A and B are shown apart, each in its own frame.
Chain A
Amino acid sequence: MNILSIIIFLPIITAVLLFFVRIPIRLIKIVYMMVTSMIALLTLKLYISFEHHASIQFEEMHRWISEYGINYHIGVDGVSLGIVVMNAILMPLVAIALYKQRDKRGYWINLLFVQGGIMGVALSLDLMLFYLFWEIMLLPIFLMIGLFGYGNKNFITMKFNIYTIFGSLMMLISILYIAVQYKLQFGVYTFDLDKLQNLVLDSTQSILVFSGFMIAFAIKIPIFPFHTWLIDTYRSAPTGAVVVMSALMAKLGAYAIWRVLFTLLDKTSHELASYFITIGLFGLIYFGISAMNQTHLKNLFALSSASHLSLIVVGFFIYDVYGLIGSSYLIVAHAISSAALFMMAAMLYERTKTYDISSLGGIAAVAPRFSIFFTLFALSIVGVPMTAGFVAEVLIVLGAFHYNIYIGFMTATTLLIAMLFMFKMISQVLYGKASKATENFEDLRMHELMALIPLALLVLAMGIFPNYFIQKIEPTALSYTVEKEVSYHE
């Protein structure tokens, strides 16, 4: 069996088995740790043996539904590698950080399930398989918010679910439509991304198909104006689910633009690129400004996440090799820091029982370790030099300047805006006078440190030695820009 299949199915099968076995919660946590660590090790092996010079590797293909040409076809390239590695690293760390907080079986079983689902989406090279995993990874999140969420959770999880599935169904129709068109042109059905590239669609068709896909991805990311589920959901969701959603699932939306739209509808994506750059830039500024006015910590992180995801979209659509590399770098960099920040927010809540920014303050004085880590991850989000965020954002801004000087200026404002809301938040939360809630703030415990140190090291490593990481992405990015002769702004 291929290593990728193990990465996808080991967590899913374990989750199903754990559901049927009645064992104490302590054992479930141990099994969870064992499985996720094993996945992490396998992924590490995958990362090291990933060749620098090739695009898609470790391919595996089996026939599944032969009449419709649906195959079990998986493989990894430079961009999906980032998501896979992030997924593998974050899952055990989430468990380490939260291991005292959650004593429900469903929590860990769902997390395992969602890990498999996300791996599946990132690695699928067949559209039906992609769709299958795309939907499957939604279910555990739906259950987690409903079971362990806060506030009006039933309504919120239903809203999130319905919102997302609407997008998915539009994508389904698009998938079926291109498959049927392929059959009309070539005589057989196929859902394989490689083969579907040969398809020729006229401009109306391709715009319709494009929008079908784009609705699904835009809702998942989310980009303006499909963001209305975002704040509620992030606020209501338990920490594990938020980490998964902001650090991984949202990134998958951006990744899917690359994987599906840039592969299949290259020309249309070019034609429509300027619209999405505009929407992305608007979202970047709009979400950033909204973030400044938030008093709820999770809302602020949600909006800051949305703002950076818009930046990723901009980076993709400017179709410049710097932009592509920058965006895929930001996918990873932002995943680390946003996951860490959401975890730290949960630790903060555990100690102070509040997310309200105005009732916090003075933590730096009582809990220096907490403050250092908190600041580091916040700075990485802002994009301060030496952190991972800086490299990514500079690359995107560079690409944007290549594209158009005004777009470049607009994109550069992201640094400014992020700085405004993050520094404001930091000054209110960490500095100032200690409030009633933060008087007896306990500094990071051992297991929390164990969860955060690897992430912090990664942020620094990615900020200081970007070359090692970029060389894995570069061939893939080049294959999208050079081979297809899309760099039209020499």
Chain B
Amino acid sequence: MSNALIALAVPGLLLFSALFILLFGFSAYYSKNRGYYITLITLFITFCISVNGVGDIHSAELLPQLFNAMVIYDTFSATFISLFLLGGFLSLAIAKSFIDQTNFFTHESFVLFLFSLFGMVVLTMANELLTAFIALEIASMAVYVLVGLNKESLRASEAFFKYLLLGSFSASFYLLGMMLIYAQAKSTHLNVIAAYIFNHDLNSQLLIIAGGMLIIITIMFKIAALPFGAWVLDVYEGASLPITAYMATVFKIAVFAFTIRVFLKNNDLIQLVFDPLVVIGAIITMIGGSLLAVIQNSVKKMLAASSVVHSGYLLIALASIEDADSSASSAIIFYLFAYFISAIGAFGVLSYISKGTDKHISFDDLNGLGKNTPIIAVSLTIFMLSLAGFPSTIGFIGKFYIFTSAIESGYTMLALLGAITAFISIYYYFKVIVHLYFKESAYVKVEYGYRVSLGFIIISAFIVLWGGVGTSLIFNIPGINELNELSKHAIRSLAF
């Protein structure tokens, strides 16, 4: 399959399925199960298609006549598209039990889900600020509504309103920044802007610098980095669990995809001007996120707060990007994968044991799970270990890459801070393990059912472990090396 065809087929199929469900959602033939499976199958097929674009290094503008060179399809976008199609697939597959047991996942929710993925697919392929903005907003709008899906829950409505308001507000920063950059560089095309920055004296580029700063604010908002991530706790808490998982992992990956592209294209400027900003952002995010996570009583809120900390680690790597060859950028991709697989698993377990109810899962609700449902408890333990960066899990390898790249770029203190944050995170992640196994509770046999959800949780747990120790020497299954190679290819295609 030619690359252009892949690039057209993936968003096309997503849109087609979305419209299909939208059209037939009210017909008598529609049932929640059918909508669910159509979405799942669409995601699986698009994933299988987009994986073909991964591996070899390629980069070409997509239909330059039609799209005016605004969209580019390269290994980088192919990798990211596969990544969050897989993420969407996994979060939906694990959410099977949750979706069945609740009544607010109507056909619109699947449509919105597909629309948001469509937006993200375009976002990773966007080579121009305006296209990126539109794609980002398509994705965000869909996610705003997904957050407020449960109309009967006050908290969900509050979260929806808060997120919508703050999100739109932050998007306006992006618009303003784009305008300022356009005023000076006379283009919104990333290549043209990069050429402009390269050819002109830095002191004469005040508008671009100011614009870039505003865009970084929006990015920081979207990835929930402090001080712009104040929304994260309420919104993650209010949204239903599968949506929280989706936001915390897949949506974040998409934003990072665009960020890496922008950062690598305008590397010199960013290193000179914005690195201190990112560094400060990383420091505040890691410390603030840790403080937030330590004090939480609800497991979901703890995971939400800790996702802020993980954004902080990613910001370390973002600050450490020196050039396309530096290991930092591929470290980000690896870490994104590591975080997404562990977090989707963790949120998935929560949604699995919540049985579709809206109630807080506090740490005490986990008591005795180790005795009553050992498989779930072990999976959750593995995810927690991975999130905490414990060796032999993929989370450790991700942290290892990020810290190494930070030290390589001379940010040893930042790596040390990262290690200290990881140390704090041991407390709140191991708290989960303590509650799972050590707290006394009555033996209650709970039947959760839904073997599909459980199966995908177990598969995720295996991926987490294999990503931590795996090597293709055993069983010839792709391991750490191959994953690493993939992210390298993705980054190289940017400079292709």
Interface residues of A (CB under 8 A from B): 19, 62-68, 128, 131-132, 135-136, 139, 142-143, 146-147, 153-154, 157-158, 161-162, 165-166, 169-170, 172-173, 176-177, 179-180, 183, 189
Contact = CB atoms under 8 A, between A and B. Distances in A.
9 contacts: A19-B378, A132-B391, A132-B469, A154-B439, A162-B423, A169-B420, A169-B422, A170-B419, A173-B403
Contacts of B481: 64-67
Contact of B473 (A62, A128, A143, A169): A62
Interface in B408-454: 408, 412, 415-416, 419-420, 422-423, 426-427, 430-431, 433-434, 437-439
A136 B465 CA distance: 13
A180 B438 contact: no
B423 A165 contact: yes
A300 to B, nearest CB: 27
A66 to B, nearest CB: 6
Q: Which DSSP category, helix, strand, loop or mixed, fits chain B's interface? A: helix
Contacts of B473: 62-63
Nearest to A149: B438
B404 interface: yes
A166 B388 CA distance: 12
Nearest to B480: A65
Given A158-B430, A162-B426, A146 B404 contact: no
Given A136-B392, A169-B419, A173-B407, 15 more contacts: A62-B471, A63-B471, A63-B473, A68-B404, A131-B391, A132-B469, A139-B385, A142-B430, A157-B434, A161-B430, A165-B423, A169-B422, A173-B403, A173-B412, A180-B407
A169 B403 CA distance: 11
Contacts of B404: 68, 176, 179-180, 189
B484 interface: yes
Identify the 7 closest CB pairs spanning chains A and B, nearest first.
Answer: A146-B438, A169-B419, A132-B391, A135-B391, A180-B407, A180-B408, A176-B404
Given A132-B392, A136-B392, A179-B404, A64 B419 contact: no
Contacts of B385: 139
B274 interface: no
A176 to B, nearest CB: 5
Interface residues of B, number: 35
Contacts of A161: 426, 430
Contacts of B44: none
Contacts of A143: 437
A177 B412 contact: yes
B390 interface: yes
Contacts of A173: 403, 407, 412, 415-416, 419
Contacts of B426: 161-162, 165
A169 B423 contact: yes
A136 B391 contact: yes
A64 B471 contact: yes
Nearest to B438: A146
B408 A183 contact: yes
A162 B427 contact: yes
A445 to B, nearest CB: 31
Nearest to A138: B390
Contacts of A170: 419
A462 B423 CA distance: 42
Contacts of A147: 437-438
A63 B472 CA distance: 10
Interface in B362-414: 378, 385, 390-392, 397, 400, 403-404, 407-408, 412
A131 B392 CA distance: 10
A285 B403 CA distance: 40
Contact of A146 (B390, B407, B422, B434): B434
A157 B438 contact: yes
A36 B400 CA distance: 33
Contacts of A128: 400
Contacts of A62: 471, 473
B434 A154 contact: yes
B434 A135 contact: no
B333 to A, nearest CB: 13
A176 B390 contact: no
Contacts of A131: 391
Contacts of B437: 143, 146-147
A183 B326 CA distance: 13
A165 B484 CA distance: 26
A161 B439 CA distance: 17
Contacts of A146: 434, 437-438
A66, A153, A157, A173: most-surrounded residue (chain B CB, <10 A): A173
B419 A172 contact: yes
